[in-house]
A and B are shown apart, each in its own frame.
Chain A
Amino acid sequence: MESLYNFTSYELREKLFKKKVSSEEVVKSIYERIEEKEEKIKAFLYLCKKEEVLEKARRVDKKIALGEEVGKLAGIPVGIKDNMCVKGIPATGGSKILKNFIPPYNATVIEKLLQEDVIIMGKLNCDEFAMGSSNENSACYPVRNPWDLNRVPGGSSGGSAASVAASEVILSLGSDTGGSIRLPASFCGIVGIKPTYGRVSRYGLIAFASSLDQIGPLSKDVRDGALMLEVISGYDRRDSTSVNMEVPPYLSLLEEDVKGLKVGIPEELTGDGIDEDIRKRLSEAVVLFEKLGVICETVSLPTLSYALPVYYIISSSEASSNLARFDGVRYGYRDFTGEDIFSMYKKTRGKGFGPEVKRRIMLGTYALSAGYYDACYLKAQKVRTLLKRDFERVFKDFDALLSPVAPTTAFLIGEKIKDPLKMYLTDICTIPVNLAGLPSISVPAGLIKGLPVGLQITGRIFEESTILRLAYSFEQNSGYHTVSVKYSRQKPEESNY
């Protein structure tokens, strides 16, 4: 019999509701898989105690057995990126400065998942405070790419992507400020969704850049992503930027025909900076979409070329302000060697933050400081307006945009970590989307030299259902989503490490 960890949540849901399997069996299978894989992959920062989790699974099984109503994700093992608060279990955000922090409350997304009876397996590794593109900035240990252990899984939601790709969980939550869901989804061969800004509550997410951060699902296929997105979306009065708007039934809209939709391919994201193999894969995707009756045309958004500096100015500025709360007073790490409060602050922050976080705090503080505010920060916000206008213009004629997710497939651990600017360039295709608040998905587009690659589909604000539909028809007609399932079915000795 097929191991239970190989299935999607949608498939498991059917089996659970029909009482063909129990949640207890699913959870046991997941723990076996973690036992087998985790030592090499390092996707978890905190794994919940097996007996306690099994007890929760049995409670779901009992509800199902008694014919009681259960949630949309009842009994499904899920992992949570460590920058979200789950009551009673540690949340470090991948940082030393939050080493002993145990949240006394749940993030809204966690409340929503628990309402649907999910089984939380633990907290997943990430770049410190979600700053990074490779997961090498985790204060604990880097995550390794399940496809090649010498390579990065992408960041910052590296643990969220690697755990789903290696079937250590069925679904996971990540967060995306400049590509942190889509990039690791692409590098690990799975689906990652960055919802429209305001679609999902940020309450209980450790803030990085508040005008850009958004929580979203990572999954083995588009259907699973749509299911989880449906669960976590919606207005929350505890996040004043969350939008009070009805959440469409994403799952039931998936199969609608894509014929007649118009898709633009931004020429700024298909230039020389993108690997030839990836550009080729994009052209093949265009051919497939055209066969399905989608109209594909090249478009130009000239300001896309300036998105990277705009992003790093704005996100670092917001981070420098958000991270001021880590001062050693109310929670987390404190250095006790200082004699007065100011030296306590400085020593705590100097020792508690890692190099990349300090670099961004420094950049942001510089950009916001007197004399540079207008030339640096305000200038970036103005260019952001130009970028938004560029998107608004093309979205008058096009329903979605198609592009690569990243210029390359997964790179080697250590390859870029010494050169911050080189690392930042990894995010060139994903960043513009966050600056404009748009919904976007990374969907598998096969393998290049044995490594997965994703395709990015971006839509108008609050039109997640359109990009889900396009991604679903691409997946169903290309069959690429089965690639990661195939990977997880390999015996360890057969796999490529």
Chain B
Amino acid sequence: MLTLSEVEYVASLACLELTEEEKKIFSQQLGEILDFFRQLDILDTEGIEPAFHSIPLKNVFRNDIKGNSIEHEKALSNAPQREGEYFKIPKIIGGGE
């Protein structure tokens, strides 16, 4: 089990508003899943490098040449709210916690 306050803390990190019902379900379900994850603890991984990628990857560089990007109007075409050439959002200053 995760405690309700742990669930609330993780939800706030993830920017998710959860209902009271969801918090209850998640505290139980996430607890079970995290317990299941603990089976990894018995494996000795001392000195083992983490595998962030499945195949060998290199950084990809390119020359700094100006190219075409998406047109303004197209980029704004899916905006839930816009004003002129901008995405419109609720106020930032004074909000939050």
Contacts and interface: CB of A to CB of B under 8 A. Distances in A.
30 contacts: A102-B78, A104-B74, A196-B55, A211-B52, A211-B53, A211-B54, A241-B53, A329-B79, A329-B87, A330-B75, A334-B80, A334-B81, A339-B91, A340-B95, A344-B89, A349-B17, A350-B17, A359-B29, A359-B30, A362-B7, A369-B13, A376-B37, A381-B50, A381-B51, A383-B43, A384-B50, A384-B51, A388-B54, A437-B53, A438-B54
Contacts of B57: 198, 241
Given A341-B95, A350-B17, A366 B75 contact: no
A329 B40 CA distance: 39
B65 interface: no
Contacts of A329: 79-80, 87, 89
B18 to A, nearest CB: 6
Interface of B: 7, 10-11, 13-19, 22, 26, 29-30, 32-34, 36-37, 39-41, 43, 45, 48-55, 57, 60, 62, 70, 74-75, 77-81, 87, 89-92, 94-97
Given A381-B51, A382-B50, A320 B89 contact: no
Interface residues of A, number: 74
Given A240-B60, A365-B10, A365-B13, 18 more contacts: A241-B57, A332-B78, A333-B80, A341-B91, A346-B15, A349-B15, A349-B16, A358-B26, A359-B29, A361-B16, A362-B7, A362-B11, A362-B14, A366-B34, A381-B50, A382-B49, A421-B36, A435-B54
Name, among A313, A381, A436, the residue most crowded by chain B CB atoms within 10 Å (CB to CB).
A381
Contacts of A355: 22
Interface of A: 100-102, 104-105, 196-198, 211-212, 237, 240-241, 243, 303, 306, 308-310, 312-313, 320, 324, 327-334, 338-347, 349-351, 353, 355, 358-359, 361-363, 365-366, 369, 376, 378-386, 388, 420-421, 424, 434-438, 461
A309 B35 CA distance: 10
Contact of B90 (A243, A312, A341, A461): A341
Contacts of A435: 54
A124 B86 CA distance: 33
Contacts, number: 170
Contact of A386 (B29, B45, B92): B45
The binding surface of chain B is classed by DSSP as loop
B54 A212 contact: yes
Nearest to B26: A362
A282 B49 CA distance: 35
B66 to A, nearest CB: 16
Contacts of B36: 308-309, 421
B17 A347 contact: yes
Contact of B30 (A241, A320, A350, A363): A363
A461 B97 contact: no
B16 A350 contact: yes
A351 B95 CA distance: 20
Name, among A100, A105, A241, A350, the residue most crowded by chain B CB atoms within 10 Å (CB to CB).
A350
B51 to A, nearest CB: 4
Contacts of A309: 36-37, 39-40
Q: Which 5 A-B pairs have the closest CB atoms?
A: A340-B95, A437-B54, A350-B17, A381-B50, A331-B78
A331 to B, nearest CB: 4
B94 to A, nearest CB: 7
A328 B80 contact: yes
Nearest to B60: A240
A329 B80 CA distance: 7
B65 to A, nearest CB: 12
Contact of A104 (B11, B77, B81): B77
Nearest to A98: B78
A168 B52 CA distance: 39
Given A362-B11, A421-B32, A306 B45 contact: no
A362 to B, nearest CB: 5
B60 to A, nearest CB: 4
Nearest to B14: A365
Contacts of B16: 346, 349-350, 353, 358, 361-362
A313 B77 CA distance: 36
Contacts of B87: 329-330
A169 to B, nearest CB: 27
